[in-house]
Amino acid sequence: MRKRVALALGAGLTLLAIGGWSLAAPIGFEASEGYVTGTVAGQPGGSPVWSVDTAGQAQTMFANVADGVGYNGTRGLSCGGGTSTGDYYTLHTGMPNSGIVHYEWKYHYSVDPNTDGRMDFFTSFPRNVNSPFRGRMENLRRNLFFLLGPVGPNGSDHEFNGNTADGWHTASLDIDYDQAKYFILIDGATTEPLGRPFYETATAATTGDLVLNSQFSSAALNENGILDDIAFNVVPEPTLLGLLGLSGLLCWRDRRRASDA
């Protein structure tokens, strides 16, 4: 049922895009977008720009634009290394911390044999402070995408199954600042209820930036994963309401079919 609802949401996004709302052109790290191979920090020379911040610690994480590693063999962003939680790469999206904001990106799990690495995703800086969302992919369990919650230290209280290890996947994230909830689909589906409470309370200090943090427990600067086709937009509120209404109608139809059977 939950997967049916999630797939309906994905279909609704497609229909609404045809009706006039769509994502901005994704960031594919191509030369035509002003990117060159090498560290992504300072690129592409215009907005939205990437930056690196070590929070006063030694920089050990890398995020490099590389040829042939992206989706369908295009350029992509190879990320990894990191022995500190204070080492970040930030995409300054210019998105607000109010209303509804949509993010989407493709990610690929690393085939690196080192299994202790992970990469976290936030929508604030630094790290999880005031971040409504915190997600993770890691080498140890490459068939999962984690949603980390506030319960317990690093409490990964929700996981997404169904990912194929080492394959390409799509994360679709909507943050509703008015409801203090976020909605996420992995490959168009979810195993959890839609509308998760914020990981951390959003405040005036919350940014709409996409923040990456890569970390290994050892000093080996290995690759954690690859990102590509990053997109983001402000969502008109009736759009999300329409999607939730569509999912509700499908739930009602399925329940009615079950009761009539």
Cα–Cα distance for residue pair 252/230, rounded to 1 Å: 34
Residue 17 pLDDT grade (very low, low, confident, very high; cuts 50, 70, 90)? very low
Structural domain total, the chain: 1
Concatenate the DSSP letters of all residues of 170-207 into one string.
EEEEEEETTTTEEEEEETTB-SS-S-EEPSS---TT--
Residue 10 lies in a domain: no
Residue 231 lies in a domain: yes
- Residues 51-61 have pLDDT tens digits of 988 767 777 88
Residue 18 CA: distances (Å) to CA of 21, 23, 56: 7, 11, 46
Residue 245 lies in a domain: no
Q: How many residues does the chain have?
A: 261
Which has the minimum average pLDDT: 4-8, 21-25, 168-172? 4-8
86: domain CATH number is 2.60.120.200
Q: Which helix (H) or strand (E) holds 252?
A: helix 237-260
The predicted structure's pLDDT at residue 148: 80
Residue 5 lies in a domain: no
Assessment of whether the complete model's pTM goes beyond 0.75: yes
Mean predicted confidence (pLDDT) in 172-184: 91
Write out the residue range of the structural domain in which residue 33 sits: 22-235
- Residues 149-164 have pLDDT tens digits of 765 445 556 778 777 7
Whether the CB-CB separation of 80 and 222 falls below 8 Å is answered with yes
Q: Which helix (H) or strand (E) holds 14?
A: helix 2-18
